[in-house]
Chain A
Amino acid sequence: MKYQLVSGLETHVELATKTKIFCGCTTAFGGEPNTHCCPVCTGQPGALPILNKKVVEYAIRAGLATHCTINTTTHLDRKNYCYPDLPKAYQISQFDKPLCEHGYVELESGKRIGITRIHIEEDAGKLVHESGYTLIDYNRGGVPLIEIVSEPDISSPEEAKEYVEKLQLIMRYIGVSDCKMQEGSMRCDVNISVMPEGSKEFGTRTEIKNMNSISYIDKAMRYEYERQCEVLNDGGKIVQATLRYDEKTGETSVMRTKEDAQDYRYFPEPDILTVVIPESKVEEIKSQLPELPLEKLNRYIDELKINPATARLLYKYKKVCDFVEKVISLGASVKNAVNLTTGVLYSKLPTEEDKENFALPVTAEETAKLIKLADEGKINITLAQQTLSKMAEEGNPVSAYIKEEDLAGVDDSELEEICKQAIENNPAAAADFKGGKEKAIFALYGFVKKATQGKADIKKADAILKKLILG
Chain B
Amino acid sequence: MSISQKEIQTLARLSRLEFSEEEQEKFIPDFEEIIAFADRINGEVVGDTSSIKEVAARTIAWEDLREDEVTDSLPNEKITSNVEAQDGYFPVRRVVK
* Residue of B16, B89, B93 most packed against chain A (CB within 10 A): B89
- A51 nearest CB neighbor, chain B only: B65
**Distance A39 CA – B82 CA, assembled complex (angstroms):** 13
- A136 is contacted by which of B16, B60, B70, B90 (Cβ under 8 Å)? B90
Please encode chain A, from 263 to 288, with 1 for each CB lying within 8 Å of some chain B CB and 0 for all others.
10100100011111110010000000
Task: Report yes or no: B95 in contact with A129, Cβ–Cβ below 8 A.
Answer: yes
Question: Using a CB-CB cutoff of 8 Å, which residues 1-55 of chain A contact chain B?
Answer: 17-19, 23-26, 32-39, 42, 50-55
Task: Report yes or no: B79 in contact with A34, Cβ–Cβ below 8 A.
Answer: yes
- B69 is contacted by which of A18, A55, A135, A138 (Cβ under 8 Å)? A18
Task: Report yes or no: B61 in contact with A52, Cβ–Cβ below 8 A.
Answer: no
| Residue A137 lies at the interface, judged by CB distance under 8 Å to chain B | yes
**Contacts of B88 on A, CB cut-off 8 Å?**
32-35, 137
Task: Report yes or no: B67 in contact with A136, Cβ–Cβ below 8 A.
Answer: no
Q: Which B residues are within 8 Å of any A CB, using their own CB?
A: 10, 14-16, 56-62, 65-76, 79-80, 85-96
Instruction: Take A133-B92, A134-B91, A137-B89 as given contacts and tell me if A39 and B62 are in contact as well, using a CB distance cutoff of 8 Å.
Output: no
Minimal beta-carbon separation of B31 from chain A (angstroms): 15
- B16 is contacted by which of A26, A82, A265 (Cβ under 8 Å)? A82
Task: Report yes or no: A276 in contact with B93, Cβ–Cβ below 8 A.
Answer: no
Task: Report yes or no: B91 in contact with A42, Cβ–Cβ below 8 A.
Answer: no
| Residue A339 lies at the interface, judged by CB distance under 8 Å to chain B | no
Task: Report yes or no: B10 in contact with A134, Cβ–Cβ below 8 A.
Answer: no
Task: Report yes or no: A39 in contact with B74, Cβ–Cβ below 8 A.
Answer: yes
Minimal beta-carbon separation of B19 from chain A (angstroms): 16
Instruction: Take A82-B14, A127-B95, A133-B94 as given contacts and tell me if A18 and B76 are in contact as well, using a CB distance cutoff of 8 Å.
Output: no
Task: Report yes or no: B15 in contact with A24, Cβ–Cβ below 8 A.
Answer: no
**Distance A122 CA – B76 CA, assembled complex (angstroms):** 21
**Distance A25 CA – B73 CA, assembled complex (angstroms):** 6
Q: Which 7 interchain pairs have the tightest Cβ spacing?
A: A24-B71, A135-B89, A54-B68, A53-B65, A273-B60, A136-B90, A33-B88
Task: Report yes or no: B90 in contact with A34, Cβ–Cβ below 8 A.
Answer: yes
**Distance A275 CA – B65 CA, assembled complex (angstroms):** 9
**Contacts of B59 on A, CB cut-off 8 Å?**
73, 273-276
| Residue A132 lies at the interface, judged by CB distance under 8 Å to chain B | yes
**Contacts of A408 on B, CB cut-off 8 Å?**
none
Minimal beta-carbon separation of A391 from chain B (angstroms): 38
Can you list 19 A-B pairs, Cβ within 8 angstroms, ordered by A?
A19-B70, A24-B71, A33-B87, A34-B79, A34-B85, A34-B90, A38-B79, A53-B62, A82-B14, A84-B90, A127-B95, A130-B94, A133-B86, A138-B90, A273-B58, A274-B58, A274-B59, A275-B60, A276-B60
| Residue A294 lies at the interface, judged by CB distance under 8 Å to chain B | no
**Distance A162 CA – B74 CA, assembled complex (angstroms):** 43
Instruction: Take A51-B60, A52-B68, A82-B16 as given contacts and tell me if A36 and B95 are in contact as well, using a CB distance cutoff of 8 Å.
Output: no
**Contacts of B87 on A, CB cut-off 8 Å?**
33, 135
**Distance A19 CA – B70 CA, assembled complex (angstroms):** 6
Task: Report yes or no: A136 in contact with B89, Cβ–Cβ below 8 A.
Answer: yes
**Distance A405 CA – B62 CA, assembled complex (angstroms):** 62
Question: Using a CB-CB cutoff of 8 Å, which residues 213-266 of chain A contact chain B?
Answer: 263, 265
**Distance A272 CA – B87 CA, assembled complex (angstroms):** 34
**Contacts of B79 on A, CB cut-off 8 Å?**
34-35, 37-38, 42, 138
Minimal beta-carbon separation of A303 from chain B (angstroms): 36
- B75 is contacted by which of A19, A25, A35, A265 (Cβ under 8 Å)? A35
Instruction: Take A52-B68, A278-B62 as given contacts and tell me if A34 and B80 are in contact as well, using a CB distance cutoff of 8 Å.
Output: yes
Instruction: Take A272-B60, A273-B60 as given contacts and tell me if A19 and B69 are in contact as well, using a CB distance cutoff of 8 Å.
Output: yes
**Distance A134 CA – B83 CA, assembled complex (angstroms):** 14
Question: Using a CB-CB cutoff of 8 Å, which residues 416-446 of chain A contact chain B?
Answer: none
Beyond A37-B74, A51-B66, A129-B96, 16 additional pairs, beta carbon < 8 A: A19-B71, A25-B70, A33-B87, A34-B85, A34-B90, A37-B73, A38-B79, A56-B65, A82-B16, A131-B94, A134-B92, A135-B90, A137-B89, A138-B90, A274-B58, A275-B65
**Contacts of A42 on B, CB cut-off 8 Å?**
79
- A85 nearest CB neighbor, chain B only: B95
| Residue A80 lies at the interface, judged by CB distance under 8 Å to chain B | yes
| Residue A400 lies at the interface, judged by CB distance under 8 Å to chain B | no
| Residue A309 lies at the interface, judged by CB distance under 8 Å to chain B | no
Minimal beta-carbon separation of A56 from chain B (angstroms): 7
Please encode chain A, from 362 to 385, with 1 for each CB lying within 8 Å of some chain B CB and 0 for all others.
000000000000000000000000
**Contacts of A135 on B, CB cut-off 8 Å?**
86-87, 89-92
